Structure 1
Amino acid sequence: MKRNNIAFIGAGFQATTNIFPAVIEAGINITALATRNSDSAKAALTRLGSNGKAYGDYKLMLQQETVDSVVIVAQPKDQYEIALGCLELGKNVFVEKPLGWNAAQATLINKAAIANNVKVMVGFMKRFAPTYLKIKELIDTKELGEVRSFYLNFCVDGTPFCPDEEAFIKLAAIHVLDLAIYLFGDIDDVEVMNNSTGALVNLVVAVKAKSGVVGSFNLSSMSAWSRESENLTVTFDDGFVQVEEINKVIIHRSNKQTGKSFASLTESDELHTASLTPMSGSVRDLYLRGFVGELAHFKNIQADTNTIETNGAENILTMALCDLILSKI
Structure 2
Amino acid sequence: MSKIKVAVIGCGSISKYRHIPEYAANSNVELIAFCDIVAERSQHFADEYNAKAYTDYKELLEKEKPDAVSVCLPNALHAPVSIAAANAGAHVLVEKPMAATEEESLAMIEAAKANNVFLMVGHNQRLMPPHVKAKQILESGVLGRVLTFRSSFGHPGPEGWSVDGRNSWFFNKEDAVMGAMGDLGVHKADLVRYLLGDEVAEVSSFISTLDKGDTDVDDNALTIVRMRSGAIGTLVASWTYYKGEDNSTVLWCENGVMMIGTDPVDQVIVELRDGSVEKHSVGAIATNEAQTSSGVIDAFVDSILTGNEPSISGEEGMKSLKVILAAFESQATGRTVAL
Query: In which range does the TM-score fall when normalised by the shorter chain?
Result: 0.7 to 0.9
Superposition map of 1:1-329 within 5 A = 4-27=4-27, 28-36=29-37, 39-46=40-47, 49-158=48-157, 160=159, 161-162=170-171, 166-184=178-196, 185-193=198-206, 196-197=209-210, 199=212, 201-222=219-240, 224-244=241-261, 248-255=267-274, 267-274=276-283, 285-287=291-293, 291=294, 293-329=295-331
Unaligned runs of at least 5 residues, structure 1: 256-265, 276-281
Secondary structure of the 2:223 match is strand
Whether the aligned pair in 2 keeps the contact of 1:37 and 1:57 (CA below 8 Å) is no
Q: TM-score, with normalisation over the residues of structure 2?
A: 0.81
Q: Match of 2:144, SS?
A: coil
Cα distance change on mapping 1:11 and 1:246 into 2, 3 Å: farther
Give SS of 1:285's match: coil
Report SS of the residue matched to 2:187: helix
Q: Give the TM-score, by structure 1 length.
A: 0.83
Give percent identity, aligned residues only: 21
Task: Identify which range, 185-194 or 311-320, moves more after superposition.
Answer: 185-194
Is the contact between residue 35 and residue 57 of structure 1 (CA under 8 Å) also seen in structure 2? yes
Unpaired stretches in structure 2, ≥5 consecutive residues:
160-169, 213-217, 332-339
Q: Computing the radius of gyration over CA atoms, which structure comes out larger, 1 or 2?
A: 1
The verdict on how the C-alpha distance between 1:3 and 1:242 changes in structure 2, with shifts beyond 3 A counting, is: farther
Alpha carbons 1:162, 1:168 under 8 Å: kept: no
Q: Secondary structure at the match of 2:204?
A: strand
Change (3 A) 1:245 1:96: farther
Structure 2: distance between partners of 1:299 and 1:14: 17
Report the CA distance between 1:198 and its aligned residue: 6.6
SS at match of 2:244: coil
| CA deviation vs aligned residue, 1:162-204 (integer Å, no higher than 9, x gap) | 4789422113322112212222222121122456547474433
Give the Cα separation in 2 of the matches to 1:130 and 1:284. Answer: 15
Contact kept in structure 2, 1:22 and 1:286, CA below 8 Å:
no
Quote how far apart the aligned CAs of 1:14 are.
Answer: 2.1
What is the Cα deviation at residue 208 of structure 1? 1.0
- How far 1:305 sits from its partner (Å)? 3.1
- CA gap 1:202/1:64 in 2 versus in 1, 3 angstroms: closer
